């Protein structure tokens, strides 16, 4: 496929106006200027067509502008747009009931609605402090939980997120995330690396730094997102749950990216057979309408009226979009994510065989990471190659997004078909091939 010359003239003009009035703190990897979208297809303002493999950072779970979601928003918009969280409305209650139905808890689930992922994390931090009376937390290196000052205190995937913003919230200690591909703690033969990390928390963090009774919660992504789409080993979450139970610490699963059916189950933590105490929700929950939530075990939600709230919590448009989204996920898209996710992993495994720059393909359902390396024996990340693949894919009509040091995230809409995946991954492989030609001889292959 011939590469497009991008940006086109209309896109270029909008980008120039953007630079004058929009904060430069946003990262724009490449110059895509959206005009409209439908399902997995998007068009820019110059009429160029792209296949969206990134789903707006894992947000457009039902694809772009799914007719059922659009209709639900339109119908609600005609009734009322806002009433505030001082009052009641049926859509909000219905969404709470839905969350209770899909929550991974044996006991009743109670929800607090937010407007974004970071606000969900802030709510989880406050609830954990309130409920336990403790103030300290454990987070993980490589984690991403948002950019407001509380959530930023946990975010540890890149220094740029923190640089210039100190002091952050006091009381967060970071443990290594159990990355089985690049472990940093020593593992004895036959040991589960996830259990090794939990032992480190017990012996080094709780043994030397924090009294367990001062710890309110452990905040963790069941599959690390921004940090590189890293799937922990099977022993990690059961061991972490046991540690939390031993010390009466709350286990908070940040499912903002991994939740809402993306991995083929409602919540990624369900792949590990563990019940958390609080779940943070965001991104894919309302197909793109700003919305988030925490869903907690009822016995944890002990805060009284006035202790936490927000103006837009349970916004009627967001609730309508979320209810339509959940219905679509329930009626087929979650099953689709599991099935076509395996299909995509199989194709990517074949691509990996043909392209030694791919060190690992990993993930669950439609949360897949492709990790590019420079050296097979050291697994040295190769960010320049990854960035080039992203650009070459864009010029060939494919939207992708990086994560971690040298990974591309394949976070497809849950509605994607096998044909669309085949088409997208064909372009993806072409981009890799061109990047290989450009960098010939750089890879140090040590079998
Ligand atoms: C796991 C996780 N938590 C929290 C957030 C923050 O969400 P938001 O950008 O909506 O504040 C993100 C965003 O990427 C995320 O991936």
Residue 269: which CATH number?
3.40.640.10
Q: Is the CB of 277 under 6 A from ligand 1?
A: no
pLDDT above 70: residue 280:
yes
Q: Is the CB of 146 under 6 A from ligand 1?
A: yes
User: For the chain, what is the domain count?
Assistant: 2
Range of the domain at 368: 9-66+333-438
> Residues 138-177: pLDDT tens digits?
999 999 999 999 999 999 999 999 999 999 999 999 999 9
Assess whether 238 and 364 both reside in one domain.
Answer: no
Ligand 1 atom 3, closest CA = 145
CB contact set of 107 (below 8 Å; sequence gap of 6+): 297, 298, 299
- Tell me the C-alpha distance between 172 and 212, whole Å: 13
Q: Is the CB of 371 under 6 A from ligand 1?
A: no
Ligand 1 atom 13, closest CA = 146
pLDDT band, very low/low/confident/very high, at 95 (cuts 50, 70, 90): very high
pLDDT above 90: residue 1:
no
Q: Is the peptide bond before 143 cis (omega within 30 degrees of 0)?
A: no
CB 10 within 8 A of CB 32: no
- Tell me the C-alpha distance between 203 and 214, whole Å: 16
Q: DSSP secondary-structure letter at 405?
A: T
* Residue 198 covered by a domain: yes
pLDDT band, very low/low/confident/very high, at 394 (cuts 50, 70, 90): very high
Nearest atom within ligand 1 for CA of residue 221: 1
CB contact set of 86 (below 8 Å; sequence gap of 6+): none
* Residue 1 covered by a domain: no
From 61, 122, 146, give the residue whose CB has the most ligand 1 atoms within 8 Å, as the site to mutate. Answer: 146
* Residue 282 covered by a domain: yes
> Residues 317-330: pLDDT tens digits?
999 999 999 999 99
CB 184 within 8 A of CB 176: yes
CB contact set of 24 (below 8 Å; sequence gap of 6+): none
Distance of CA 75 to the CA centre of its chain: 30
> Residues 373-392: pLDDT tens digits?
999 899 999 999 999 999 99
Assess whether 169 and 45 both reside in one domain.
Answer: no
Ligand 1 midpoint to CA 376 (Å): 32
Assess whether 50 and 35 both reside in one domain.
Answer: yes
pLDDT for the residue numbered 441? 66
Both tokens of 194, joined, read 């996830």
pLDDT above 60: residue 2:
yes
Distance of CA 76 to the CA centre of its chain: 28
Q: Is the CB of 145 under 6 A from ligand 1?
A: yes
Q: Is the CB of 117 under 6 A from ligand 1?
A: yes
- Tell me the C-alpha distance between 332 and 66, whole Å: 14
Assess whether 153 and 239 both reside in one domain.
Answer: yes
pLDDT band, very low/low/confident/very high, at 293 (cuts 50, 70, 90): very high
Residue 258 CB neighbours (<10 A): 29
- Tell me the C-alpha distance between 109 and 63, whole Å: 28
CB 171 within 8 A of CB 135: yes
**Strand pairing category for 380-381 and 367-375:** antiparallel
> Residues 299-314: pLDDT tens digits?
999 999 999 999 999 9
CB 406 within 8 A of CB 227: no
What average pLDDT does the segment 48-75 reach?
96
pLDDT above 60: residue 447:
no
pLDDT for the residue numbered 33? 98
pLDDT above 70: residue 105:
yes
Nearest atom within ligand 1 for CA of residue 292: 10
pLDDT above 60: residue 361:
yes
Assess whether 211 and 268 both reside in one domain.
Answer: yes
pLDDT for the residue numbered 422? 97
* Residue 446 covered by a domain: no
Percent of the chain with pLDDT over 90: 96
> Residues 226-266: pLDDT tens digits?
999 999 999 999 999 999 999 999 999 999 999 999 999 99
pLDDT above 80: residue 335:
yes
Ligand 1 midpoint to CA 367 (Å): 15
Q: Does an H or E element contain 375, and which?
A: strand 367-375
Q: Is the CB of 256 under 6 A from ligand 1?
A: yes
* Residue 3 covered by a domain: no
In 3-state terms, what secondary structure has residue 219?
strand
- Tell me the C-alpha distance between 56 and 290, whole Å: 12
The dihedral built from the CA positions of residue 338, 344, 347 and 350, taken in this order, carries a sign that is negative
- Model pTM score: 0.97
What average pLDDT does the segment 403-431 reach?
97
Assess whether 127 and 198 both reside in one domain.
Answer: yes
Angle between helices 418-438 and 334-354 (to 10 degrees): 30
Ligand 1 midpoint to CA 8 (Å): 31
pLDDT above 70: residue 446:
no
Q: Is the CB of 116 under 6 A from ligand 1?
A: yes
Nearest atom within ligand 1 for CA of residue 57: 14
**Boundary residue ending a domain (328, 350, 384):** 328
Number of C-alpha atoms within 13 angstroms, CB side, residue 1? 20
> Residues 172-225: pLDDT tens digits?
999 999 999 999 999 988 999 999 999 999 999 999 999 999 999 999 999 999
pLDDT for the residue numbered 68? 98
> Residues 339-359: pLDDT tens digits?
999 999 999 999 999 999 999
Q: Is the CB of 316 under 6 A from ligand 1?
A: no
Looking at the DSSP bridge assignments, the partners of residue 368 are: 363, 410
Query: What average pLDDT is seen over the chain?
Result: 97
Sheet with 172-175, side-by-side order of all strands: 109-114, 292-297, 278-281, 250-254, 215-220, 136-140, 172-175
Assess whether 82 and 127 both reside in one domain.
Answer: yes
């Amino acid at each position: 496929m011939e590469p497009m010359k991008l940006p086109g003239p209309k896109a270029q003009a909008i980008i120039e106006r953007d630079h004058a009035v929009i904060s430069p703190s946003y990262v724009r990897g490449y110059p895509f200027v959206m005009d409209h979208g439908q399902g997995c297809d998007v068009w820019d303002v110059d009429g160029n067509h792209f296949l969206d493999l990134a789903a707006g950072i894992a947000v457009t779970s039902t694809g772009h502008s799914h007719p059922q979601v659009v209709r639900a928003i339109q119908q609600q918009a005609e009734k009322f747009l806002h009433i505030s969280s001082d009052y009641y409305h049926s859509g909000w209650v219905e969404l709470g009931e839905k969350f209770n139905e899909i929550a991974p808890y044996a006991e009743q689930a109670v929800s607090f609605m937010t407007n974004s992922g970071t606000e969900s994390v802030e709510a989880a931090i406050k609830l954990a402090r309130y409920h336990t009376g403790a103030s300290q937390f454990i987070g993980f290196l490589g984690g991403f939980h948002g950019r407001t000052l509380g959530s930023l205190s946990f975010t540890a995937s890149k220094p740029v997120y923190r640089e210039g913003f100190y002091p952050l919230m006091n009381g967060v200690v970071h443990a290594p995330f159990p990355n089985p591909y690049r472990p940093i703690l020593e593992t004895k033969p036959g040991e589960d690396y996830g259990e090794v990390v939990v032992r480190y928390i017990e012996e080094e963090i709780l043994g030397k730094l924090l009294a367990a009774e001062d710890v309110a919660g452990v905040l963790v992504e069941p599959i690390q997102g921004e940090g590189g789409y890293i799937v922990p080993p099977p022993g990690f979450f059961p061991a972490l749950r046991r540690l939390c139970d031993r010390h009466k610490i709350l286990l908070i699963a940040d499912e903002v990216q991994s939740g809402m059916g993306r991995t083929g189950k409602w919540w990624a933590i369900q792949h590990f057979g563990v019940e958390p105490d609080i779940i943070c929700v965001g991104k894919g929950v309302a197909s793109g309408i700003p919305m988030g939530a925490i869903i907690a075990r009822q016995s944890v939600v002990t805060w009284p009226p006035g202790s936490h709230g927000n103006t837009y919590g349970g916004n009627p448009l967001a609730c309508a979009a979320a209810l339509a989204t959940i219905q679509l996920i329930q009626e087929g898209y979650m099953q689709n994510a599991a099935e076509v996710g395996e299909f995509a992993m199989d194709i990517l495994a074949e691509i990996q065989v043909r392209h030694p720059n791919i060190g690992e393909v990993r993930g669950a359902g439609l949360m897949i990471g492709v990790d590019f390396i420079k050296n097979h024996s050291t697994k040295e990340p190769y960010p320049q190659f990854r960035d080039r693949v992203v650009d070459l894919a864009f010029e060939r009509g494919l939207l992708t997004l990086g994560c971690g040091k040298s990974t591309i995230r394949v976070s497809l809409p849950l509605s994607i078909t096998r044909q669309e995946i085949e088409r997208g991954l064909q372009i993806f492989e072409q981009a890799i091939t061109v990047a290989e030609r450009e960098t010939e001889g750089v890879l140090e292959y040590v079998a």
